[in-house]
Amino acid sequence: MYRNDGIRELERQECLRLLAKAPVGRIVHTRHALPAVLPVNFGLDGDGAVLLRTSAASELARAVDGAVVAFEADEVDPLAHSGWSVVVTGPAAVVTDPGEHRRLVRGGPRSWAPSPREVFVRIEPELVTGRELVGGFSMYGLDAFF
């Protein structure tokens, strides 16, 4: 159902389906007590968990291990003023189980900037939310609204 501002809230399954087709997302966490955000490529596990692959020595791995983070992906059409955005919020942890690590080496996401020793970070999909903006407003000319 669309609210009168053209925004529709998305169901969890709809969110995960959209996430699965996004090539990159952004991980949001806290760094030196400030909000931090970094684009990363990713994979989705069967249960909807977000999987990242990064250097074991990276600041990202240290910063998010054990923290609650948000992971966002979106697709926006700036001409049509339409698009969607999905956010997965949950605790992140470096995968330490050797069997799990081997499984992810085979089927998990690839690094765009590979490094000699890599780890996987798993973000539990505790909260999966999303919204769609439908660009009907632009048909009437935005300026008329101001």
- Residues in touch with its own copies (CB under 8 A): 5-7, 23-24, 26, 28-30, 34-39, 41, 55, 68-70, 72, 74, 76, 78, 81, 83, 85, 87, 89, 105, 110-115, 127, 133, 135, 137-138, 142-143, 145-146
Measured from the CB atom, the residue of 99 and 141 that comes closer to its own copies is 141
Please report how close the Cβ of residue 76 comes to its own copies at its closest, in angstroms. Answer: 5
β strands within the chain, DSSP E: 7-10, 24-31, 34-41, 43-44, 50-55, 68-77, 82-94, 118-123, 127-133
Please report how close the Cβ of residue 18 comes to its own copies at its closest, in angstroms. Answer: 13
Q: How many CB atoms lie within 10 A of CB 20?
A: 11
Please report how close the Cβ of residue 133 comes to its own copies at its closest, in angstroms. Answer: 6
Measured from the CB atom, the residue of 1 and 146 that comes closer to its own copies is 146
User: Hey, which residues does 118 pair with through a beta bridge?
Assistant: 55
Please report how close the Cβ of residue 81 comes to its own copies at its closest, in angstroms. Answer: 4
Three-state secondary structure call for residue 100: helix
* Alpha-carbon Rg for the chain in angstroms: 17
